[in-house]
């Protein structure tokens, strides 16, 4: 992510310690947010656009603080738009929402596979999955790769492609 405040600092040959206290505090807040985001990205979690917008708003505020400093004005009377703690809480809440959605999807898939096995359906084509187990079909199709092992494994079932677009449903032991 490119920051306006960094560009201003480079263009005007400014060091962090030369900036006003508000700008230094804002830069510290962005650094905290970026560390938190990097930790989450290492765990495979994505950052939502709303979070990036908040970081950009923080950056813009810092840039205005630097411009005030450069022009010896005080036009930026506003406080920093977001504190690092608030942005990181939003990121954490977003993760919980995603985890909840994944859990709901997993439960729907297990219910669909329960129903298929109860009906004696163990060999299914991709078209049969589409009509009889739409959530399962969507997950498989969204992640489908030609020539690779495709399917879904849950805590109770395995539904693995054994021939092209033909899937075998088994109860795990």
- Asked whether residue 59 is domain-assigned, the answer is yes
Which pLDDT belongs to residue 63?
Answer: 93
Across the chain, mean pLDDT equals 86
Residue 12, in any domain of the structure? yes
pLDDT at 98 exceeding the cut of 60: no
- Report the percentage of the chain scoring pLDDT > 70: 95
Q: Per the structure block, which two tokens stand in for 113?
A: 């596979």
Same domain, 12 and 70: yes
Report whether pLDDT(101) > 90: no
Q: What is the pLDDT of residues 72-96, one digit of tens each?
A: 887 777 788 778 888 878 777 765 5
**Cα(110)–Cα(154) distance, integer angstroms:** 7
**Containing structural domain, residue 160:** 104-171
Query: Can you give the pLDDT at residue 99?
Result: 53
Indicate whether 75 and 13 sit together in one domain. yes
CB 30 within 8 A of CB 3: yes
Instruction: Please report whether residue 97 resides in a domain.
Output: no
Does residue 99 fall inside a structural domain? no
The answer to whether residue 89 sits within a structural domain is no
How many CB atoms are closer than 10 A to CB 165? Answer: 14
The rounded distance, in Å, linking the Cα atoms of 166 and 83 is: 52
> In 43-133, which residue ranges form alpha helices assigned H by DSSP?
49-71, 84-118, 126-132
Q: Is the pLDDT of residue 4 over 90?
A: yes
Q: How many domains does the chain have?
A: 2
Asked which of 106-110, 140-144, 158-162 is least confident by mean pLDDT, the reply is: 140-144
């Amino acid at each position: 992510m490119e920051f306006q405040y960094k560009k201003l600092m480079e263009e005007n040959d400014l060091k962090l310690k030369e900036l006003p206290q508000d700008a230094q505090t804002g830069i510290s807040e962005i650094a905290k947010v970026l560390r938190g985001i990097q930790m989450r990205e290492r765990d495979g979690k994505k950052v939502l656009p709303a979070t990036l917008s908040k970081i950009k708003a923080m950056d813009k505020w810092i840039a205005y603080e630097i411009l005030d400093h450069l022009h010896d004005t005080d036009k930026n009377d506003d406080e920093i738009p977001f504190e690092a703690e608030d942005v990181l809480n939003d990121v954490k809440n977003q993760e919980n929402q995603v985890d909840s959605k994944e859990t709901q999807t997993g439960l729907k898939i297990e219910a669909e596979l329960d129903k298929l096995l109860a009906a004696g359906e163990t060999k299914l084509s991709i078209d049969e999955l589409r009509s009889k187990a739409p959530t399962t079909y969507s997950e498989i199709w969204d992640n489908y790769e030609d020539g690779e092992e495709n399917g879904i494994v849950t805590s109770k079932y395995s539904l693995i492609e054994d021939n092209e677009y033909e899937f075998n449903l088994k109860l795990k032991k």
